[in-house]
Amino acid sequence: MNSSAGASGPAKIRIRHLQDAMRAGRPFSMLTSYDQYSAQAFERAGIEVLLVGDSAGTTVLGHDSTVHTTHEDIRVFTAAVARSVTRPLIVADLAFGTYQAGPSDAIRHGVDLVRAGAEAVKLEGGHEIVPQVTALVQAGIPVMGHLGFTPQSVNALSGHRVQGRDHQAADRLADDALALQEAGAFALVLELVPSSLAQRITEVLSIPTIGIGAGPHCDGQVLVWQDMAGLSGFEGKFVRRFAHLREELERAAREYRGAVEGREYPGPEHSFD
């Protein structure tokens, strides 16, 4: 894989390319995306994986938790991203409540997301969702797992907290990771776990791990794009801002307003005869 899309490397990122990258020790990048322009910018930047995450509920739709993001929300955003790019692998989240009841629910919603343009689905949980993962994989739908802090369980986990800090919890997480791999998951997101635990899991698994607040040892990294680009204002310890879009957008809007109020915009060059 390459640092700029289209220069060389595969024209289309497939699961096997992530596995090749892992074997070669080449870290890869995943960003969330929910719309045309962000998806196209990330494709041009060479981002390998776009995640249509249920974080859309909190970053786009104004909810305070991903439990409010619906399957329909994700379906619409997935279709928008899929229409907009060709190269990145597109992964879509199964929304809270669309797979917990059992494998047939998971397949029904997974099929729907694939029809919308997803090339894989992500779901949260460990041993308890192994039947769903197995069923999805058997149905031909690639599955990305998600362990550690799992935002759909924010209430059960008593808020946003680093997971797997003590020995027992760390062992449980490592067991869950192996169970997901055994069930056929092709990659695993590790969110908010100590970096030593992420390293241990990464070393034990033969599928790529993708970290978010999980330190530097994972095979890939993921961030919510509005955090990465400084649009959200979120200041989690694990986030590095690579731009300051919030300030830039505000500046542009203020300047626009000033130009309108000062009758400086639109000018003759923006007007029709």
What is the H or E stretch that residue 62 is in?
Answer: none
Write the binding mask 184 to 203 for ligand KIV: x where contact by CB under 6 A, - elsewhere. Answer: -----x-x------------
As measured in angstroms, the least distance from the Cβ of 93 to ligand KIV is 5
Considering only residues 148 to 177 of the shown chain, the ones binding ligand KIV according to CB under 6 A are none
As measured in angstroms, the least distance from the Cβ of 194 to ligand KIV is 17
As measured in angstroms, the least distance from the Cβ of 89 to ligand KIV is 14
The end-to-end CA distance of the chain, in Å, is: 51
Residue type, 98: T
Distances (CA, A) of 31 to 42, 222, 246, 271: 8, 5, 18, 39
For residue 7, count other CB atoms closer than 10 A to its CB.
8
Question: Measured between alpha carbons, how far is 79 from 184 in angstroms, rounded to an integer?
Answer: 25
> Is 124 annotated as contributing to ligand binding?
yes
Residue (154 or 265) nearer to ligand KIV, CB: 154
Q: Who's near 126: CB < 8 A, 6+ residues apart?
A: 145, 147, 172, 173, 175, 176, 177, 179, 180
Considering only residues 19 to 58 of the shown chain, the ones binding ligand KIV according to CB under 6 A are 32, 51, 53-55
Question: Measured between alpha carbons, how far is 235 from 268 in angstroms, rounded to an integer?
Answer: 43
Residue (32 or 181) nearer to ligand KIV, CB: 32
Distances (CA, A) of 17 to 13, 86, 140, 228: 6, 15, 18, 24
Q: For residue 95, what is the DSSP state?
A: P
> Is 261 annotated as contributing to ligand binding?
no
Radius of gyration of the chain (CA): 20
**Number of residues counted as binding ligand KIV (CB under 6 A):** 11
Considering only residues 93 to 152 of the shown chain, the ones binding ligand KIV according to CB under 6 A are 93
Catalytic residue among 43, 48, 119, 191: 191
Residue (54 or 112) nearer to ligand KIV, CB: 54
Considering only residues 208 to 227 of the shown chain, the ones binding ligand KIV according to CB under 6 A are 212, 222, 224
Residue (73 or 191) nearer to ligand KIV, CB: 191
Q: Which long-range contacts (CB under 8 A, 24 or more apart) does 81-84 make?
A: 81/33, 81/34, 81/35, 81/36, 81/39, 81/50, 81/52, 81/117, 82/116, 82/117, 82/118, 83/36, 83/117, 84/35, 84/36, 84/37, 84/39, 84/40, 84/43
105 touches 117 (CB < 8 A): no
Q: Is 248 a catalytic residue?
A: no
Residue (54 or 119) nearer to ligand KIV, CB: 54
Position closest to ligand KIV via CB: 53
Annotated binding-site residues for Mg(2+) read: 54, 93, 124
Residues that bind ligand KIV (CB under 6 A): 32, 51, 53-55, 93, 189, 191, 212, 222, 224
| Catalytic residue positions, numbered | 191
Annotated binding-site residues read: 54-55, 93, 122, 124
